[in-house]
């Protein structure tokens, strides 16, 4: 378990204006810092064994055993259309409760490092810019200003939307099927892919 600073830092500007705060958990994915609303976070755990699930897209890292329940883990980096995360000592799984048609389901998000909890004043939260990021705009909830920097606040419910995860996977798996079904002709291609 990683100890988190429960009392997050408040930026000076926020203290002056004295308006309402929202707490955000910030973490590292690749080299960027992202934040998600603390209310979405259920738990943060260290990484044990992740069991791969075959025939799924890259961003589905696999499943873990969370106290007897099987929980899927999403590679946040891959989901944000970047490279797959390398697992290091600092890697963590942030468990997030997602609402699926009235039922809540726990999904894990693999991040490279968990930083801290920040209080961000509502006046410092600004709408998503239309340009300037490589991330799908609907994945961004807002931008939070912390001192002079901006942190991307993720729309975690969109990113972990079960409907989308299972849909995309269907596409991916039928691709895999197609590739496999014509195995003989694809042999070369596969051998190539094995080499790197």
Q: Applying CB under 8 A, which residues contact other proteins? A: 48-49, 51-56, 60, 62-65, 68-72, 100, 105, 107, 162, 165-167, 169-170, 173-174, 176-184, 187, 190-191, 193-194
Q: Are strands 149-154 and 32-37 parallel, antiparallel or unpaired?
A: parallel
Cβ contact 99:64 at 8 Å: no
User: By C-beta, is 20 or 55 nearer to other proteins?
Assistant: 55
CB of 4 to other proteins, least distance (A): 25
CB of 80 to other proteins, least distance (A): 17
User: By C-beta, is 71 or 90 nearer to other proteins?
Assistant: 71
CB atoms within 10 A of CB 147: 11
CB of 76 to other proteins, least distance (A): 15
CB of 44 to other proteins, least distance (A): 18
Q: Are strands 21-29 and 32-37 parallel, antiparallel or unpaired?
A: antiparallel
Distances (CA, A) of 76 to 4, 79, 139: 20, 5, 11
Cβ contact 108:76 at 8 Å: no
User: By C-beta, is 4 or 66 nearer to other proteins?
Assistant: 66
């Amino acid at each position: 378990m990683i100890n988190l600073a429960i009392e997050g830092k408040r930026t000076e500007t926020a203290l002056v204006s004295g308006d309402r705060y929202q707490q955000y958990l910030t973490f590292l994915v690749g080299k960027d810092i992202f934040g998600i609303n603390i209310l979405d976070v259920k738990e943060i755990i260290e990484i044990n064994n992740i069991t791969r699930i075959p025939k799924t897209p890259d961003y589905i890292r696999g499943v873990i055993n969370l106290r007897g329940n099987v929980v899927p883990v999403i590679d946040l980096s891959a989901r944000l259309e970047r490279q797959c995360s390398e697992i290091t000592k600092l890697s963590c799984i942030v468990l997030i409760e997602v609402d699926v048609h009235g039922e809540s389901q726990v999904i894990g998000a693999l991040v490279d490092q968990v930083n801290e909890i920040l209080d961000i004043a509502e006046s410092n939260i600004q709408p998503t810019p239309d340009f300037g990021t490589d991330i799908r705009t609907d994945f961004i909830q807002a931008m939070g200003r912390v001192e002079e920097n901006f942190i991307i606040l993720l729309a975690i419910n969109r990113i972990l939307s079960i409907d989308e995860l299972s849909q995309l996977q269907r596409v991916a798996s039928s691709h895999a099927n197609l590739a496999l079904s014509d195995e003989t002709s694809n042999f070369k291609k596969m051998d190539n892919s094995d080499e790197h």
